[in-house]
Structure 1
Amino acid sequence: MSFPIRAITLDLDDTLWPFAPIGARIEQTLHAWLLQHCPRTAQRFPVEAMRELRAAVYAEHPQLAHDLSQLRKLSLVRAMELSGDDPVHAQAAFETFYSERNRVEFYPDALPALARLAARVPLAAVSNGNADLARIGVSHHFAFQLGSREHGTAKPDASIFHAACAQLGVAPHQVLHVGDHVDLDVVGAHHAGLRSCWLNRDGATWPHAQLRPDLEFTTLAALADWLDASHHPEPVAA
């Protein structure tokens, strides 16, 4: 399938890198920091208990579902208050978490493919997560990064897709959104009027009968191949 694309929006977690190993490291690194600096919190809230507390705090603040960083900070403050440690340490604990959160291991195909895509069309990151492309070291491939925290609403809400298109200066039907999540990425982009690409690295079966992605690939390199074969350069309005 070939159709005109003037820009691409990209999901991050589980699209450019797997999140599961990051999540596991985050919990262990944060617990080690708490053992050293807030031992009462570490004792009362080991990894599993901290996970349960975090889920409870998230449930109490559905209005912050788009802001994972703020929810994490609130969880740390709550844990320290309940344990008798000074919650002033919450910011330092968060920085420890955030540093580890941005230590990613890209899928083997991702970085070369990212460079190839960026050489063809403008790229924008659109994510519900709180990764920082500048800290990770790949922001130079992107025109900008739009997170749900900054926007105020998370995918699959159409407004975050439309905001990215507006910032790119490209109509939604000429923007391809690429991501791993069936509903947040593919269905969300479709309903917002964008073209969609399901990055299906695990070879899963598409679950919806009435709606399909415009494209489906198992690697980002395959998407770059498709773009190389189908792309006809068009000037993007300033």
Structure 2
Amino acid sequence: MNFPVRAITLDLDDTIWPIAPVMIRAESILGDWLREHAPRTAERYPAQAMRELRDRIAAERPDLAHDFTQQRRLTLEHMLRETGEDIALVAPAFDVFFAARCEVEHYADSEEALARLAARVPLAALSNGNADLERIGLMPLFRFQLGAREHGRAKPDASIFHAACTRLDVEPAQVLHVGDDIEMDIVGGARAGLRTCWINREGRQWPHAQLRPDLEFTTLAALADWLDTAHRTDTAAA
């Protein structure tokens, strides 16, 4: 299938890099830091207990569904307060966690594929997470990064897709949104009027009968191949 693509918006976690090993490592590094600086908190809240508390806070604060940073800070504050340790440690504890959270290991195809895509059309990062592309080192390939925390609403809300299209100065129908999440990325992007590409690295089955992605690939490299071919076709037609 060929159609015009004037810009691409990209999800980050589990699209450019796998997020699970990143979070496990970041929580482990945070645990080590707490054992040194807040030992009672570290003892009361090992990694699993910390995750359960964060999930509980997320459930209790739906107003923060778009803001993983604040959810994490509130989790740290609750932990420290409950164990009677200094809540001034929230800021340095979060900094330790966030630095580790931004130490990602890309999928093998990602960096080269992103460079190929960026050579064809403008790229924008569009994520519900809080990864920092400046720290990660990919920002030179992107026009901008728009996170749910900054926007105030998370995918699949149409407004975050439309805000990205406005900043790109491209109509939604000519923007391709690329991501791994069926509901947040593909259903959300399609309902916002964008073209969609599902990066399905694990060979999952598509669950919806009435709506499908415009494109489906197992890697970003395959998407770059498709875009190269589409651009050659467009040039030849012109």
Q: How far 1:200 sits from its partner (Å)?
A: 0.4
Partner in structure 1 of residue 55 of structure 2: 55
Separation in 2 of the partners of 1:183 and 1:58? 19
Separation in 2 of the partners of 1:51 and 1:229? 44
Q: How far 1:194 sits from its partner (Å)?
A: 0.1
CA displacement, residues 144-202 of structure 1 (integer Å, 9 cap, x when unaligned): 00000000000000000000000000000000000000010000000000000000011
Q: What is the SS of the residue equivalent to 1:9?
A: strand
CA displacement, residues 80-106 of structure 1 (integer Å, 9 cap, x when unaligned): 000010000010000000000000000
After superposition, where does 1:9-28 map in structure 2 within 5 Å?
A: 9-28=9-28
Partner in structure 2 of residue 155 of structure 1: 155
- Is structure 2 residue 216 aligned with structure 1 residue 216? yes
Q: Percent of pairs identical after alignment? A: 63
Q: How far 1:52 sits from its partner (Å)?
A: 1.4
Separation in 2 of the partners of 1:58 and 1:25? 21
What is the total number of aligned residue pairs between the two structures? 233
Gaps of 5+ in 1: 234-238
Partner in structure 1 of residue 225 of structure 2: 225
Q: How far 1:37 sits from its partner (Å)?
A: 0.4
Separation in 2 of the partners of 1:120 and 1:48? 44
- Is structure 2 residue 83 aligned with structure 1 residue 83? yes
Partner in structure 2 of residue 122 of structure 1: 122
Separation in 2 of the partners of 1:84 and 1:56? 20
- Counterpart residue identity of residue 209, structure 1: A
Partner in structure 1 of residue 137 of structure 2: 137
Two-structure CA RMSD over aligned residues (Å): 0.7
CA displacement, residues 24-48 of structure 1 (integer Å, 9 cap, x when unaligned): 1011111111000000100111111
Q: TM-score, normalised by structure 1?
A: 0.97
- Counterpart residue identity of residue 154, structure 1: A
- Counterpart residue identity of residue 45, structure 2: F
Q: How far 1:56 sits from its partner (Å)?
A: 1.5
- Counterpart residue identity of residue 173, structure 1: A
Partner in structure 1 of residue 65 of structure 2: 65
Separation in 1 of the partners of 2:33 and 2:217? 40
Q: What is the SS of the residue equivalent to 1:211?
A: coil
